Structure 1
Amino acid sequence: MNLLAISGSARSTSTNTALLQTVSKIAPNNIQISVFDGIGHLPVFSPDLENITLPHGVQQFVDAIAAADGLLIASPEYVRSIPGGLKNAIDWLVSGEHIVDKPIALLHASHRGGDMLAQLRLVLSTVSQSFATDLFLRFPLMNKTPQQVEDFFSSAEHRQQVQTYLARYEAFYQATKKPA
């Protein structure tokens, strides 16, 4: 199974990006995870640009989503809301078909962020028929460096939590697949 892990942060030392990168390293061999950390490089969404050739970065983002079997999203909370860059990225996907049936689940790198998570759940359940509302994993990583995040997962307990989460995701993915 090939997953695309989307970081909702544009920060180069984001704990959410570090979480996704670490999860990709410790995933079982049957699950490959690519991390997309280019939210900050996407142009501002405009419906006027949808009916022509998409901007290069947007096309790469859309292609990465189309190629993935499913999506994992981890995002910080900004001003008790979804970061503008992540909302912008989702806006680029709304009128296309690539996200509609794509299995999606959330991870979170903080003990805070409930308002953003509630909004993100609402948005994702609106744009995708396969958003896993009950598949969620959270770790208290706020203000940790990427190296500290990686060190955090040297613990067998934390690695096992990730393995269990990914096994649950795989079961969810299998349940959402349409018969051939």
Structure 2
Amino acid sequence: METKINIVALSGSNRKKSSTQKALNSLRKFMPNHVEYEIYNGIEKLSHFNRELDNDKPPLEVQVYRELLSKADGVIICTPEYIKGVPGV
């Protein structure tokens, strides 16, 4: 019996029809049966630059995000170009 592998994919764009979202969606068909593949689509809800929210009780979406990543065996990050680089957040 094969061990399940958990892969989390993160899109650096919050647009639902972005090319990064399309790329991550297309990767799903290449995943073997023993791979659990989940795309996280809540990036716009995260508090990227507010360190005051990083305490014992962070916002719910941050808790969800951290829990998802803590269970992942691997992470795929797909982000759009922004001014010839990657977005700061």
Share of identical aligned residues, percent?
A: 34
Q: Structure 1: 5+ residue runs without aligned partners?
A: 88-180
Could you tell me which of 59, 74, 80 is aligned with 1:55?
A: 59
Task: With a CA cutoff of 8 Å and minimum separation of 6, indicate the structure with the bigger relative contact order.
Answer: 2
Task: Answer yes or no: is the 8 Å Cα contact 1:6–1:73 preserved in 2.
Answer: yes
Identify which of 42, 49, 53 aligns with 1:38. Answer: 42
2:69 aligned residue: 65
Query: 1:74 and 2:78 equivalent?
Result: yes
Q: Partners of 2:80 and 2:64 in 1: how far apart?
A: 23
Q: Which residue of 2 aligns with 1:5?
A: 9
Structure 1 match to 2:32 = 28
TM-superposed CA distance for 1:31, in Å, is 1.4
1:46 Cα deviation after fit: 1.8
CA distance in 1 between counterparts of 2:87 and 2:41 reads 13
Question: Residue 71 of structure 1: CA displacement?
Answer: 0.4
1:86-111 deviation line (CA, Å, top 9, x unaligned): x2xxxxxxxxxxxxxxxxxxxxxxxx
Q: Secondary structure of 1:43's match?
A: coil
Whole-angstrom distance in 2 between the partners of 1:16 and 1:54: 28
- Cα contact 2:47–2:53 (8 A) shared by 1: no
Q: How many residues align?
A: 85
The TM-score, its normalising length taken from structure 2, stands at 0.83
Bigger share in helix: 1
CA distance in 1, matches of 2:86, 2:42: 16
Q: Describe the SS at the equivalent of 1:78.
A: coil
- RMSD across aligned positions (CA): 1.4
Which residue of structure 2 lines up, in the alignment, with residue 102 of structure 1? none
For residues 3 and 44 of structure 1, the distance between their equivalents in structure 2, rounded to whole angstroms, comes to 22
Distance 2:52 2:40 in 1: 25
Deviation of 1:83 after TM superposition, in Å, equals 2.1
1:16-58 per-position Cα deviation (integer Å, ceiling 9, x unaligned): 1111122123311121210012211212432222123111111
Structure of greater Rg: 1
